Structure 1
């Protein structure tokens, strides 16, 4: 939702516990999945209301 233009973002983090919070681009670039794959940018992402994204995240866990 926000980017400081350097390294820090604020937005919805769909991790172990989905939440609004801050995260760093540098941390995302260093992160690796279970088989060692890097995180990739979603080239087809479309602007979506936060409420819709949160609802989708909730259905993933329940």
Structure 2
């Protein structure tokens, strides 16, 4: 699975991290560090949960 976070859309609400700290990483100001990265299938549910809670819809999760 791949996760893509649009850093420019992120507003720093940190809901993704609150629900899935094993998937999402925040910077010192509470914004998602962004980028595109792979995750193990075992973290897929957490990744979707965190993405679904993003009010800006800055996170996309893809199956490969």
Same fold by TM-score, threshold 0.5 exceeded? no
Give me the TM-score of the superposition, normalised by structure 2.
0.27
Larger Rg: 1
Give me the TM-score of the superposition, normalised by structure 1.
0.27
